[in-house]
Amino acid sequence: MNKHLDISYEVGSAQAMGLPIVALESTIISHGMPYPKNVETALMVEQTIRDAGAIPATIAVIGGRLKAGLTQEEIEYLGKMGRNVTKASRRDLPALVAWEADGATTVATTMIIAHMAGIQVFATGGIGGVHRGAETTMDISADLEELAQTPVMVVCAGAKSILDLGLTLEYLETKGVPVIGYGTDELPAFYTRQSGFGVDYRVDSPAELAGLFRAQRELGYKGGMLVTNPIPEQYAMDKAVIDAAIEQALAESRAQGIKGKETTPFLLARVVELTGGESLESNIQLVLNNARVAAQTAIQLNI
């Protein structure tokens, strides 16, 4: 085991007993939602995974230690600290470890630590991707590169709809990352169930998902697999409403000169404001939905 990694008692016990485990990111706690809703949601997602028959492993960096599995107190701490905690991508891990600092893990770093801890399945909200205007800014999330090189299945509600979804799919295709639609032939767009873009393959059960991932691992592929699971219909937002909010948020971010890793938190927070909080409720429900599918798939991988 890596000397910088701490595996919680619950997660370590689950591994010893051969129980299914699902990794969870922590950026959604510190940067994705306001306190105390962020803590409530994080604990609710963990409970959803337990109720489905698996063990949750929320991942973060605390005091320079890579954590696979957090206590309730640690989740509360990250929630209260909010954006004062570093939003940690791949490039940040060495500095956080060296300086014994705290970091909330993005999709990329959650994949790294999950793989380090021997966890195969990870549930999140939406992945990062190619930002709009990336042909001039080169603003492309490290999540995509991590999917190309780290063998973890990521269950999400598609790429965040603030992104250029077409270019995101093109990038994933170039990197050889399979994009799977869970019960859909079309890429979900986070707040909405359709994007107008197709997926590589459709599957309709956790057993099928487990079979695909098992085959990919047995073939020796080094990369991961992206499973896109549409937001439940009753929580999906009207496409015209969310598109208008995103366009306004994008215009404001450009006017304020917001760039780099601060872009996504700003846009998501502004969309919440512009939709009167409706997008926050949608965000919570899609994460819970992804947690259920990830737990069911982790169970099938253990069979």
Give residue limits of the domains in the chain: 5-301
Measured in degrees and rounded to the nearest 5, phi and psi for residue 283 equal -60, -45
Residues 6+ apart with CB under 8 A from 31: 82, 83, 85, 87, 104, 265
pLDDT digits (tens, 9 = 90+) for 99-157: 999 999 999 999 999 999 999 999 999 999 998 777 777 888 999 999 999 999 999 99
* 85 pLDDT more than 90: yes
The whole-number pLDDT of residue 265 equals 76
- Domain formed by 5-301, architecture: 3-Layer(aba) Sandwich (3.40)
Identify whether 262 is a catalytic site residue.
no
Q: Name the percent of the chain lying above pLDDT 70.
A: 100
Which residue out of 25, 46, 74, 146 is catalytically annotated? 25
Q: Give every CB contact of residue 106 below 8 A, 6+ residues apart in sequence.
A: 25, 27, 87, 88, 89, 128, 141, 142, 143
Q: Which residue has the higher pLDDT, 34 or 229?
A: 229
How confident is the model over 178-200, as a mean pLDDT?
94
In this prediction, residue 155 carries a pLDDT of 98
Q: CB–CB of 159/143 below 8 Å?
A: no
Question: How far apart are the two ends of the chain, measured CA to CA in Å?
Answer: 25
The verdict on whether 25 is a catalytic residue reads yes
Tell me the β-bridge partners of 163. Answer: 131
Nearest to 23 by CA among 4, 45, 2, 39: 45
Q: Find the catalytic residue in 67, 87, 160, 261.
A: 160
